[in-house]
């Protein structure tokens, strides 16, 4: 699974600008908070594969003896499609979890609008989005985040209540 995400991470990193291998390793590691920590043995085969598919292109910097990679238009389109499919999956899982929380009466409703699409637009296409649209996206994302915080607070309250109940029950049984 990480191998597939490595390719997406490479494409995403290259939307920020051209990079050589070491820069990609550092950027991806930082970007994913260490979840994906590419090694040269996995990065360079992935770069060759992406280059073979014309999703990126590399150019040798003869002065520094390293290859600088850039994302192609085809790579940008493929990244966008992959991210849209990924967010569809995330939306499904998110809806499923919220539906289960609502069924358990932890939250009132399972229809809390997602924020992922707004965050993705900002991250992936921030250079191409006009400032006015960026502001609108950020405002919508902020409202959705407030909704998520409310849901998480309700889940936290539910857990606290049930933990206390279980502790009382457990203590009472031990005393008997």
Q: How confident is the model at residue 123 (pLDDT cuts 50, 70, 90)?
A: low
Domain ranges of the chain: 2-71, 75-175
Tell me the mean pLDDT in the region 118-140: 72
pTM of the entire structure?
0.61
In the CATH hierarchy, which fold is given to the domain comprising 2-71?
Arc Repressor Mutant, subunit A (1.10.10)
Condensed to tens digits (0 to 9), the pLDDT of residues 24-54 reads 999 999 887 788 889 999 999 999 999 999 9
* Of the candidate ranges 40-44, 93-97, 126-130, 167-171, the one whose mean pLDDT is the lowest: 126-130
Q: What is the DSSP string of 80-120?
A: HHHHHHHHHHHHHHHHHHHHHHHHTTSSS-S-PPP-HHHHH
Structure token digits, residue 143: 């409202």
pLDDT of residue 113: 62
Alpha-carbon distance 1 to 29, whole Å? 16
Cα distance from N-terminal residue to C-terminal residue, the chain:
51
Condensed to tens digits (0 to 9), the pLDDT of residues 50-108 reads 999 999 999 998 888 899 999 999 999 999 898 888 878 877 887 788 788 778 777 77
**Would the pLDDT of 1 be above 50?**
no
Alpha-carbon distance 130 to 137, whole Å? 11
Alpha-carbon distance 157 to 151, whole Å? 10
Question: How many percent of the chain have pLDDT more than 70?
Answer: 86
CA 150, 152, 157, 163: dihedral to nearest 10 degrees? Answer: 180
């Amino acid at each position: 699974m990480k191998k597939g995400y490595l390719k997406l991470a490479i494409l995403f990193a290259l939307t920020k600008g051209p990079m050589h291998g070491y820069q990609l390793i550092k950027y991806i590691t930082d970007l994913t908070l260490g979840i994906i920590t590419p090694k040269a043995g996995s990065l360079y085969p992935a770069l060759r594969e992406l280059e073979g598919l014309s999703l990126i292109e590399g150019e040798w910097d003869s002065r520094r003896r390293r290859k600088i990679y850039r994302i192609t238009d085809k790579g940008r389109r493929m990244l966008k499609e992959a991210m849209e499919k990924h967010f569809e999956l995330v939306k499904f899982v998110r809806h499923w979890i919220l539906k289960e929380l609502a069924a358990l009466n932890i939250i009132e409703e399972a229809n809390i609008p997602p924020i992922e699409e707004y965050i993705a637009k900002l991250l992936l296409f921030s250079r191409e989005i006009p400032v006015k649209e960026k502001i609108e996206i950020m405002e919508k994302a902020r409202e959705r985040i407030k909704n998520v915080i409310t849901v998480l607070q309700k889940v936290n309250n539910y857990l606290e209540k049930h933990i206390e109940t279980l502790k009382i029950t457990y203590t009472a049984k031990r005393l008997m």
